Chains A and B, each alone.
Chain A
Amino acid sequence: QKEVEQNSGPLSVPEGAIASLNCTYSDRVSQSFFWYRQYSGKSPELIMSIYSNGDKEDGRFTAQLNKASQYVSLLIRDSQPSDSATYLCAVNAKYSGGGADGLTFGKGTHLIIQP
């Protein structure tokens, strides 16, 4: 059974600091990893995707993947109050388009950026 674990928080970070969000997954064959941001009452929006071990940077966001440890993280630099939201880690076991499986989501980490 695929499981994705996240600390539900809330995680409180001062404005301007680095927010670090962590996620572990149980399915060793997982190949695709995603971070979504969800504001209260809204649907998730994609922040980052990562498929290979190592770091991937996009603006203030850096995703880190360690398949050996089954661990994926998201770093947010120069945190802003507008970054306050729930961050969902999502995992899919199939990388290619041959499968049409939906994603397995973690419960999300509630991040609060304090002004």
Chain B
Amino acid sequence: GAVVSQHPSRVICKSGTSVKIECRSLDFQATTMFWYRQFPKKSLMLMATSNEGSKATYEQGVEKDKFLINHASLTLSTLTVTSAHPEDSSFYICSARDTRRGSGANVLTFGAGSRLTVL
């Protein structure tokens, strides 16, 4: 089955520093990956769509200069939280569409998530 690897699973950083989160599709190629954020007891909120070889598409209200997304290859997307602040503390989850799981179907496979704590 499709596997999406996300690293690190947990990170603690000081306010003002930057943190990079990696998302890899291990056994399939993903031209598109998605980054979600989930606050405690809240639903997943789509932050941005990561497009291989081009700029990411950000959802309304998400600061593109703060959440830098790079999708340099068909198997890797990175999210960098720049100048992190305590309010950025959240559970960040990436996902990718494995089109092998059904022609035309938008079936997403999720990474294990990265819990960011900004002190």
Tell me the bound Cα distance from A104 to B106 in angstroms.
12
Is A58 located at the chain interface by the 8 A CB criterion?
A: no
B29 CB → nearest A CB, Å: 13
Tell me the bound Cα distance from A94 to B111 in angstroms.
22
B109 CB → nearest A CB, Å: 7
B104 in contact with A97 (CB, 8 Å):
yes
A29 CB → nearest B CB, Å: 14
B11 CB → nearest A CB, Å: 15
Identify whether the interface residues of B are mostly helix, strand, loop, or mixed: strand
Chain B stretch 69-103: residues in CB contact (< 8 A) with chain A: 91, 93, 95, 97, 99, 102-103
A43-B110 CB under 8 A given contacts A88-B44, A100-B97 = yes
B residues near A99, Cβ cutoff 8 Å: 106
Q: How many residues of B contact A (CB 8 A)?
A: 30
A86 CB → nearest B CB, Å: 9
Is B32 located at the chain interface by the 8 A CB criterion?
A: yes
A residues near B111, Cβ cutoff 8 Å: 43
A residues near B45, Cβ cutoff 8 Å: 105
Cβ proximity bits A22-34 to B, threshold 8 Å, 1 near / 0 not? 0000000000101
Q: How many residues of A contact B (CB 8 A)?
A: 26
Is B28 located at the chain interface by the 8 A CB criterion?
A: no
A45 in contact with B105 (CB, 8 Å):
no
Is A92 located at the chain interface by the 8 A CB criterion?
A: yes
Is B67 located at the chain interface by the 8 A CB criterion?
A: no
A46-B107 CB under 8 A given contacts A100-B32, A101-B49, A102-B36 = yes
User: Can you give 7 A-B contacts (C-beta < 8 A)?
Assistant: A43-B110, A46-B107, A46-B108, A88-B44, A101-B106, A105-B44, A107-B43
